Amino acid sequence: MGENFCMRQFDLNCDLGEGMNNEAELMPYISSCSVACGGHVGDQSSMQDVVSLALEHGVKVGAHPSYPDQKNFGRKILDISNAELLTSLIDQIQTLQNITDSFHMKLNHVKPHGALYNLACVDKDAAKVVVSAMHSFDDDLKLYAPAHSLMAVEAMKQGITVFTEAFADRRYSSDLSLVPRSHEQALILNSDDIFHQVSSIVNGKVQTVDNETVNIQAETICIHSDTENAVTLVKDLAQSCKRVGIKIT
């Protein structure tokens, strides 16, 4: 099995600063992180703590902005104008960039959170707002987004580098949308199952909740810090990848 995976590599990213207080335990095993920057959760203190840990462990830092909706943890679509959303996203990203600047670190990427992430994959207006927000910052700021999603397409049209993203701990539907969290099989909570999904994604395939095997493209793979037993899952994944020659980088 090791020969099949020889020289394979991917970026393992994790959404951090979301109140789980497990960042110090997760940081040694990941290569990039997306930091909650006040929209759904997060404040100056939490952002500073995560950025400091990332600097210590050589982990790249990105912004994880969302609808300005802490009540619903950014998991519901807000009825606000595109202008209001744009202003909020710029404010959130700028807040985190001010902190990375203070640590002499470069902000690596933007990855929308929750309902905004899902909507911007399929809605042109939401996709354009996300990309417009990024244009207020450095030209080399990357977008983490699913391959062929509308926000990925819009970003590439406008010269923004896209890191295609998939998920280690979420089940997929046949159209490569994430199975809704309300579904009993939405989450993957077993280390062996997560490794199976990641090793499959690294080889360009994923098994859907309907037991179909479909093609998928991903340069970065996410595992959520608020998934049950996240630290154990991430540690086990890193060890399993190392065992078969998949490099996290």
pTM over 0.85? The answer is yes
For the stretch 91-113, pLDDT in tens is 999 999 999 999 999 999 999 99
Average pLDDT over residues 149-167: 98
For the stretch 23-72, pLDDT in tens is 999 999 999 999 999 999 999 999 999 999 999 999 999 999 999 999 99
Please check whether residue 236 is in contact with residue 247, taking contact to mean a CB–CB distance below 8 angstroms. no
At 8, give phi and psi (nearest 5°).
-70, 150
| CB neighbour list of residue 46: distance below 8 Å, 6 or more residues apart | 17, 19, 36
pLDDT for the residue 1: 31
* The pLDDT of residue 6 is above 70: no
At 226, give phi and psi (nearest 5°).
-100, 5
If one counts every other C-beta atom within 10 angstroms of the C-beta of residue 4, the result is 12
Average pLDDT over residues 226-247: 96
How does DSSP assign 121-184, residue by residue?
HH-HHHHHHHHHHHTTS-TT-EEEE-TT-HHHHHHHHTT--EEEEEESSB-B-TTSPBPPTTST
Q: How large is the greatest C-alpha to C-alpha distance in the chain, in angstroms? A: 52
How does DSSP assign 6-40, residue by residue?
TT-EEEEEEEE-SS---HHHHGGG-SEEEEE-SSS
All domains of the chain in start order, with CATH: 2-248 (3.20.20.370)
